[in-house]
Structure 1
């Protein structure tokens, strides 16, 4: 009685584009069996409707076979001399593109984050410097800066994830409170028994509570 149901599910899954994502690929170093599985997925996944996504800090973290099989490579900022050699020798990227990578891809800013995109297409190889723009709420959702994460986690616990990201985006629309935190550190004294991040979190929660109370009063 279950056969037809599962046959339909199998057909639906076969028709869908699937993704396998490997983050922090450098951790696979020395694990040859896993590396070979990852390479096999990268080379054969397309015919099974599987998209492989790998992420790591340096191009040198990836096996050469995987780089050769990649159809899209995104370099977020200029890396080591080894990375430059990979861009030149493996992908045949021009010196001008590498120079632009170092000059313009220096991390996200008010207008977005620049990165070097390499695309292998049926009509040729494309190298383009692109800009990724996202809103402040998204920036706060994906920030990995230590201080920002600590602040975000404190607000998550006190006002909830959605309200916390909205609050942070309102006060820090560039997606980071690092400058404010650093400034508060310079103003701190040894008498302060609460961390700078904790004090900033308390201020934001106080402002959030005050605004919430005002909205409730207006609705009465």
Structure 2
């Protein structure tokens, strides 16, 4: 896929032991092939795997990652298709993923879970004018204490009581297993969701036990209501919000209540579950991302945090093995250790694409930066992609050890020269090269910069992708619409094959735009799809 300017193959080891850490940056303007490059690198990981798919968490805004997932699923036998899933998030109760879910079998969060909860709650308190929470130090202390109080209340002091008819799967499992008959009505009236969870788990009804587990967790409205707790009022009751007479506790309560209204997908009990056998997860934020205002960018940033947790929140579990085993009852150890051992033996990949949508919200970038620095200890390959090099904070630029540069600005040359030791003559020569896919099909120019233990390697390369892959990964609006139209009629495999045969460069945009200008038609794409199908004749 990668080759030098003279056509020689150029091998790159992803997550190589020749590098101290595995942080990759991929800036590039729209239309240059940035998302295709990132997805193709992930595809190389997949094709290089032996028995199992690698663990990949992909957070995207657009179609490209969903195309990768479809390509993988089409290559898997029916019994393994759940190993790769694409999720298009929607901010409604049907897609609820409770912010306060903890590991199955536990009653309170382990360290990475608590850090995630704290990050999202603090993000809900961000002042969009500064990109930071008000009174950052005090706010984080309050949030951390609030989380402790919530789980002490709902995990120890006053666990939620089981109520029949709340979860149909749980009720059916209790009846089918005979567990319901083992206790009288008085016992059931006082039983908790934790007790029901444990009973079902020990009886082997794992799916139902997981549902009971979800019902036991606190929710955002309940957590925010605990801001009136005496322990918080005694310490922070008189602290005012910076630049205002408003009490900080009142501001945080208002911010969390607003978060409950703005984000129903994190404010109730979890409704959708991911198969524990799933290894490749792509989360599309297109339907939940905010607009270009500061408030909209904050919303997008929060969604990136949530999606990262959904797709790869357990990647760091091996580092917390002892804490997990201490937290969980012994009967849950087998399930937890199976997942931990899987994760511990492999390199995991976490991709954040289109991050320019969170530009200007420093708090979100700081969280990603913190994750990136910590994850190098956990064998996690992190890819951060955005439009411009200037979108990355200085700390991220300094810590990255791989760059995939499809384009940059002349004013970026000092950063690349001084931070990454790329020769200035090479930087200037690359800027003179045509950008995007070459007309002759020879590939897309990319400047690869690799910090290895022995120094820095910089090479001007080209990457090429076959037509079938291009049509799976292409995210341009017109091409995506044509692919979707054909897929709905013929299925994804046949649709890609027809498109690849008729448009081997991976795009029909020029033809679509030409016909739109020539024809008096409201649906050029539908007509083109029908024409391509008729052209197949009996070959369909």
**Which TM-score band applies after superposition, normalised by the shorter structure?**
0.7 to 0.9
Which structure 2 residue ranges, 5 or more long, are not aligned? 1-330
Matched, 1:41 2:363: no
So what's the TM-score if we normalise by structure 2? 0.37
Partner in structure 2 of residue 10 of structure 1? 340
Give the alignment of 1:69-218 within 5 angstroms.
Answer: 69-77=399-407, 79-104=408-433, 106-109=435-438, 110-188=441-519, 192-212=520-540
The secondary structure found in structure 1 opposite 2:420 is: coil
Structure 1 residues 105, 18: closer, same or farther in 2, change over 3 A?
A: farther
So what's the TM-score if we normalise by structure 1? 0.85
Shift of 1:134: 1.2
| Mapped partners of 2:374, 2:442: distance in 1 | 38
Deviations for 1:127-166, whole angstroms, at most 9, x for unmatched residues?
1011111110111111122221221121121111111111
Partner in structure 2 of residue 216 of structure 1? none
Matched, 1:19 2:349: yes
Shift of 1:186: 4.4
Kept in 1, the 8 Å contact 2:437–2:445? The answer is yes
Q: Greater CA radius of gyration, 1 or 2? A: 2
Aligned residues: 208
| Mapped partners of 2:411, 2:472: distance in 1 | 32
Structure 1 residues 86, 195: closer, same or farther in 2, change over 3 A?
A: farther
Greater than 6 Å deviation, 4+ residue runs = none
Shift of 1:8: 3.4
Kept in 1, the 8 Å contact 2:421–2:456? The answer is no
Larger relative contact order (CA 8 Å, sep ≥ 6): 2
Deviations for 1:50-85, whole angstroms, at most 9, x for unmatched residues?
1111011111111111111111110112x3334334
Task: Please identify, of 115-124 and 34-43, the stretch whose mean Cα deviation from structure 2 is larger.
Answer: 34-43
Which structure 1 residue ranges, 5 or more long, are not aligned? 213-220
| Mapped partners of 1:107, 1:153: distance in 2 | 24
Matched, 1:31 2:361: yes
The secondary structure found in structure 1 opposite 2:485 is: helix
The secondary structure found in structure 1 opposite 2:437 is: coil
| Mapped partners of 2:521, 2:390: distance in 1 | 44
Shift of 1:5: 4.0
The secondary structure found in structure 2 opposite 1:107 is: coil
Task: Please identify, of 67-76 and 17-26, the stretch whose mean Cα deviation from structure 2 is larger.
Answer: 17-26
Shift of 1:19: 1.8
Task: Please identify, of 119-128 and 31-40, the stretch whose mean Cα deviation from structure 2 is larger.
Answer: 31-40
Structure 1 residues 154, 14: closer, same or farther in 2, change over 3 A?
A: same
